[in-house]
A and B are shown apart, each in its own frame.
Chain A
Amino acid sequence: MLKRRKRELKFVEGRPQESEWKRFIRVFFGRRIVLFGLIVVALYIIVAIFAPWIAPYDYKTISSTILSQPSAEHWLGTDTVGRDVLSRLIFGVRPTLIVGSVTILIAAVAGTILGLLAGYFGGWIQTIIMRFIDALMGFPMILLALLIASLLGGGLKNIVIALGIALIAGFARVMCAQTLTIKENDYIIAGRSLGLTNFRLMWKHIIPNAFPPMIILATMNIGMVILMEAGLSFLGVGIQQPDAAWGSMVSAGYNRLTSNPALSVAPGIAIMLIVFSLNMVGDGLRDALDPRLRGTL
């Protein structure tokens, strides 16, 4: 630890120029906790891909041995219809990651488009879009998601859509602010005078430049989405049986904390670990990509 601090002081004093990519690698992988996060995320993805080979049982098969305590056959016991909790946990990575990533993808794409249009064209387009976004921001996300999910009905697809819509506002705001800053840059003004089309300017110049803050926001939000899914299933709207994301598993098992703790503690810890890891990765990305920190790290 001490050694690291010394090195840092040296950087502050002035460091030789290094390429953007090299700096990214150095800063991003420099913090051990970020590395830890990355390893966990990678492990989760591996588990998701190889779930059928890793899981000891099929996650759907019900049996008559219900609510058994952890044992040699069932490491984490069985649930209320006799399914193996460990297998459900392993297969649960898939919907959990799908909820996390697809939701963010929906929100990021929609948010980027709205924010870009608003920021680039300005004027009444900006006013309309941003007031609309402000209106969405005027409402707690989980309630918005609950409302949309009640409207569409439960199920993986609808939960993803509901959470996605609830998250659009944050992305649109950041994108709009980014676009406003970037479009004042000389190269955009120059590009415009050269007669480049709006689409080309947006696609080739603004989006790539606005990418870093968006990717940071996205990473940070994945964890939140996973937690929100847990909250939604606690409120009674969630992914449909027999599939289960960890959020649904926690909310299905929280009332048996005293008798069968594994039912909700296992998915709960799994959620905590992935959310923690994703936040760390997001932190690392911000350190590595945020231009304001460029001189200091």
Chain B
Amino acid sequence: MVTYIIRRLIQAVFILLILTFIVFGAVRLLPGDPLLMFLNATDIEALSPEALDQARHELGLDRNLVVQYGIWLGDILQGDWGKSLHFKNANVLQMIGQRMPVTIHLGVLAFFFSSVIGITLGVIAAVRRGRWADTVATLLANTAITIPIFWLGIIMMLVFSVELEWLPVAGYTPINEDFWLSTRKLIMPVICLMIGSLGAVARLTRTSMLEVIRQDYIRTAWSKGLRERAIVIKHALKNSLIPVITVMGLQVRFIFGGAVLVEKVFAIPGMGRLMVEAVDGSDYPVIQGAVLVIGIIVVLTNLIVDISYGWFDPRVRYE
């Protein structure tokens, strides 16, 4: 088990190296000269071509790509994540430190509710297969994933905030500042964000639950006369969750993706918006730092998912 985890961690480091290098290269091909984002000079005539070259040199933009990557990596390991080209005083690590908790807050809520509701819907659909509950649950799960989420966000905002005035329109308040306000502000973003994952989780739970329900041991349990609910929850659910966990692991990535759109609609200062704005403005250090952090989180969740298989399925061995 320990060796397995260590081996996976070493692999994870390699994956992150590849990921950051790919993005490092891709970012440098983005149209637009990053130097101009950095200088943003009002008096551009004052900058002779020599002065521009000098500035480029100081930022290390004139060197070989691999060398630049090496320097960046070295700096990262020493805790120097660089500074935003656009927001010159903004330390990348600090920026990420400000925004990551926001996205995690949003993401954890979305992850939790999409899992709970998705699994519930899936179980209902499987147990009541063919009845109206199945039809309704399947329709709900499948309709939910068909809506463009930014559009859903605006529609909800119009209905619940502007018309009914039940919820705040937009913005973010940290949970420790004002729990109630923070939660009210997050209701709509979380619904938007969880809706895609919810459908996927519900569908998968239904399918794998259907498989398990027909296994011999469930039928045996049934014949022993245990109460239906106990069987379903204890045996069937635990066993059918194995593939679902895989999907839930992948949801982390989807939630980060969805956050990109949701954060823009609801003016939430999270990682998604940071990334989009950085890509828009060719802000290299920010893109690279954000990619690294998101990569670490996704890779680690995958590792946790793999380890948790063992808990759900004793047959799994770590080799």
Chain A interface residues (CB < 8 Å from chain B): 1, 4-5, 8, 12, 33, 131-132, 134-143, 146-148, 150-151, 153, 223, 227, 230-231, 234-236, 247, 250-251, 254-255, 257-258, 264, 268, 271-273, 275-276, 279-280, 283, 286, 292-293, 295-296
The stretch of B25-33, B40-48, B49-57, B308-316 that contacts the partner chain: B25-33
Q: Which A residues are in CB contact (< 8 Å) with B207?
A: 286, 293
- State A48–B205 Cα separation when bound (angstroms): 35
Interface of A is mostly: helix
Inter-chain contact A257/B147, CB cutoff 8 Å:
no
Partner of A143, one of B11, B148, B155, B257: B257
Contacts A138-B19, A231-B150, A234-B150 aside, 12 further interface pairs with beta carbons under 8 A come to A131-B15, A136-B22, A139-B294, A139-B295, A139-B298, A143-B279, A147-B23, A227-B148, A273-B146, A280-B142, A292-B211, A296-B214
- State A150–B280 Cα separation when bound (angstroms): 8
Partner of A231, one of B19, B260, B291: B260
- State A257–B23 Cα separation when bound (angstroms): 37
B65, CB-defined interface residue at 8 Å:
no
B225, CB-defined interface residue at 8 Å:
no
Contact A268-B15, Cβ < 8 Å, known A140-B257, A293-B211, A296-B210: no
B254, CB-defined interface residue at 8 Å:
yes
Inter-chain contact A250/B151, CB cutoff 8 Å:
yes
B contact residues, range: 35 or more
A197 to chain B, nearest CB (A): 31
CB-based closest 6 A-B pairs: A140-B257, A135-B19, A135-B18, A275-B146, A138-B295, A230-B148
Inter-chain contact B29/A141, CB cutoff 8 Å:
no
Contact A272-B254, Cβ < 8 Å, known A131-B15, A254-B150: no
A264 to chain B, nearest CB (A): 6
B132 to chain A, nearest CB (A): 8
Contact A283-B260, Cβ < 8 Å, known A137-B253, A227-B148, A257-B155: no
Inter-chain contact B11/A131, CB cutoff 8 Å:
yes
Inter-chain contact B211/A151, CB cutoff 8 Å:
no
B256, CB-defined interface residue at 8 Å:
yes
Contact A138-B16, Cβ < 8 Å, known A1-B130, A231-B148: yes
Residues 95-134 of chain B, each 1 if its beta carbon lies under 8 Å from chain A, else 0: 0000000000000000000000000000000000111100
Inter-chain contact A1/B158, CB cutoff 8 Å:
no
Chain B interface residues (CB < 8 Å from chain A): 11, 14-16, 18-19, 22-23, 26-27, 29-31, 129-132, 138, 142-143, 145-151, 154-155, 158, 203, 207, 210-211, 214, 253-254, 256-258, 260-261, 264, 272, 275-276, 279-280, 287, 291, 294-295, 298-299, 302
Inter-chain contact B155/A4, CB cutoff 8 Å:
no
- State A21–B309 Cα separation when bound (angstroms): 35
Q: Which B residues are in CB contact (< 8 Å) with A295?
A: 214
- State A236–B150 Cα separation when bound (angstroms): 13
Please, which residue of chain A has its CB at the minimum distance from the CB of B210?
A296
Inter-chain contact A131/B14, CB cutoff 8 Å:
yes
Partner of A271, one of B132, B138, B148, B257: B148
- State A234–B238 Cα separation when bound (angstroms): 40
Contact A8-B154, Cβ < 8 Å, known A135-B15, A147-B23: no
Please, which residue of chain A has its CB at the minimum distance from the CB of B20?
A135
Contact A151-B30, Cβ < 8 Å, known A131-B15, A139-B19: yes
